[in-house]
A = this chain, B = another copy of it.
Amino acid sequence: MSRPVEFAHRERARFYEELWAFLRIPSVSAKSEHDGDTARAARWVRRQLAGAGLDAEVLPTPGHPVVVGEWRGAGPDAPTVLVYGHYDVQPPEPLELWDTPPFEPRIRDGRIYARGSADDKGQLFLHIKALEAHLATRGRLPVNVVVLAEGEEEVGSPNLVPFVKEHRERLAADTVVISDSAMFAPGLPSLLFSLRGLAYFEIHASGPRSDLHSGAYGGAVPNPANALARVIGSLHDETGRIAIAGFYDDVVTPSRETLAGIRGLPFDAEAYAREVGTVPAGGESGYSALERLWTRPSCDVNGLLSGYTGEGAKTVLPAGAMAKVSFRLVPNQSPERVKILLEEHLAKVAPAGVGFSLVELHGGRPWLATPEGPLFEAASRALERSFGSRPVLTGEGGTIPIVVELEEILGANSLLLGFALPGANMHAPNEWFATECFEKGIDTLIHLYDELAAS
């Protein structure tokens, strides 16, 4: 066992205590009422980075601040690793479905339950502790390191690209390392080869000037809730394929190797159905569940609101209706193109007397890695040393919008190795992170620097 790993094991109790303090901060970036908490989380990350031995500061943006930590001791000729993570979290609602409060972390059955435990506070924290273990025991790292922690990932990172562009020199790196994803299965470490992109909209339908009596007006006045439902229904065809004209024009069919790799994974449809509570029958027919998740676009309603939703029967013809609708994108789709196509679709299907408007809330391009080279190899060896088996290559249905941007702006390659487990309830009640992954995750990231030095 190396000295940094020994250090990490010895300091584990303190690490948990510190993580608890991090998870207790309700840094919900989507809600302005939490702006103070988000700022507090940024300051907490800065102090942690400084404590680990990095030069760290909180830098303002027009939104939530960015935290940057630097260790340049490897010298100008050594390569630089940029660690990216985010300290903001999803809203915890619906609160009543949490078994314990979202911002009061608890361990139950080997799991850390808290909002942000997996996405992404817990995983960002692993990196800080790995750096601390190296610097505390050896006083140095084999590479230069920059940590970039943002507070707006859950709202689409609206200010990060300008920030990275502005600080392009300071953030310059050869490799971007991100832990914000999941392993394929417990005990089966994974490296990502793809991320889907995202185009997230609010669709507003408006009809009469105010809510009307549905008896006195129903059948004479167009109902925006009926119209919105019909429009949402029109987004898919009978086979589950997205029915927006031109939507698949930019979709790249994955290579035969990629598809063969996916088919080789131990996917247990029954266990999956048990985990989610229903059959994996969503989306396009003709593709397996994993193929749909990793290689095909999707379209989901994330929220619906109209009219009267309380107890009992209110016979109202609502003045308006709202849907949150998001698309997951695959190479080479772009959120900008999807917005145009959706606008055209709405114009085509909107009935007389109902107005539709579209608000873009969030966008991110899909990402595809080249899963080979010294970086992938170093990460594979690091994972094997901690988990005892070679990692598998997996895709990810979710989106980390900044990956493509960081690669392009900094000219770096990305390495995405996540330590959450399937069913971790990221974005849902009862989010959790396995203590085993927490502990082996720190070990892995400690190993990663040694393997990078050796490669």
Find residues 164-192 in chain A having any chain B CB closer than 8 Å to their own CB. 182
Contact with B along A89-117 (1 / 0, CB 8 A): 01101100100000000000000000000
Say yes or no: is A313 at the interface (Cβ < 8 Å to chain B).
yes
- Point out the residue from B220, B353, B397 that lies within 8 Å of A218, measured CB to CB: B397
A223's nearest neighbour on chain B, judged by CB, is B300
User: Which residues of B have CB within 8 Å of A276?
Assistant: 208-209, 212, 217, 221
Whether A300 contacts B284 in the complex (CB less than 8 A), given A91-B310, A427-B214, comes out as: no
Q: Are B93 and A308 in contact (CB under 8 A)?
A: yes
This chain: copies in complex: 2
Say yes or no: is A391 at the interface (Cβ < 8 Å to chain B).
no
Say yes or no: is A362 at the interface (Cβ < 8 Å to chain B).
yes
User: Which residues of B have CB within 8 Å of A380?
Assistant: none
Q: Are A398 and B301 in contact (CB under 8 A)?
A: no
Q: Are B304 and A216 in contact (CB under 8 A)?
A: no
Find residues 1-34 in chain A having any chain B CB closer than 8 Å to their own CB. 30-32
Stretch at the interface among A50-58, A322-330, A409-417: A322-330
- Point out the residue from B210, B214, B430 that lies within 8 Å of A300, measured CB to CB: B214
Find residues 407-432 in chain A having any chain B CB closer than 8 Å to their own CB. 425-430
Find residues 312-355 in chain A having any chain B CB closer than 8 Å to their own CB. 312-319, 321-324, 326, 328, 351-354
Say yes or no: is A198 at the interface (Cβ < 8 Å to chain B).
yes
User: Which residues of B have CB within 8 Å of A298?
Assistant: 218-219
User: Which among A235, A306, A354 has the highest number of chain B CB atoms within 10 Å?
Assistant: A306
Chain A interface size, as a band, is 35 or more
- Complex Cα distance A313/B360, Å? 9
Whether A221 contacts B354 in the complex (CB less than 8 A), given A214-B328, A302-B317, A429-B210, comes out as: no
Q: Are B223 and A313 in contact (CB under 8 A)?
A: no
Q: Are B281 and A353 in contact (CB under 8 A)?
A: yes
Whether A304 contacts B324 in the complex (CB less than 8 A), given A209-B278, A217-B276, A427-B213, comes out as: no
Say yes or no: is A283 at the interface (Cβ < 8 Å to chain B).
yes
Stretch at the interface among A36-44, A79-87, A226-234, A433-441: A226-234
- Point out the residue from B289, B314, B323 that lies within 8 Å of A30, measured CB to CB: B314
- Point out the residue from B215, B223, B316 that lies within 8 Å of A196, measured CB to CB: B215
User: Which residues of B have CB within 8 Å of A397?
Assistant: 215-220
CB distance from A387 to the nearest CB of B (A): 21
User: Which residues of B have CB within 8 Å of A122?
Assistant: none
- Complex Cα distance A208/B97, Å? 14
User: Which residues of B have CB within 8 Å of A307?
Assistant: 301-304, 324
Other CB < 8 Å A-B pairs besides A182-B216, A305-B309, 19 of them? Answer: A30-B311, A93-B310, A154-B313, A198-B215, A198-B315, A209-B277, A209-B278, A212-B428, A215-B396, A220-B293, A225-B300, A225-B301, A230-B232, A302-B314, A302-B316, A302-B318, A304-B321, A313-B326, A315-B362
A-B contact pairs, 28 of them (CB 8 A): A31-B311, A91-B312, A155-B313, A211-B428, A216-B427, A218-B283, A218-B298, A218-B300, A219-B298, A219-B397, A220-B290, A222-B278, A225-B232, A225-B302, A225-B304, A226-B301, A228-B229, A229-B323, A231-B233, A279-B352, A303-B306, A303-B308, A303-B318, A304-B305, A304-B306, A305-B305, A308-B324, A313-B324
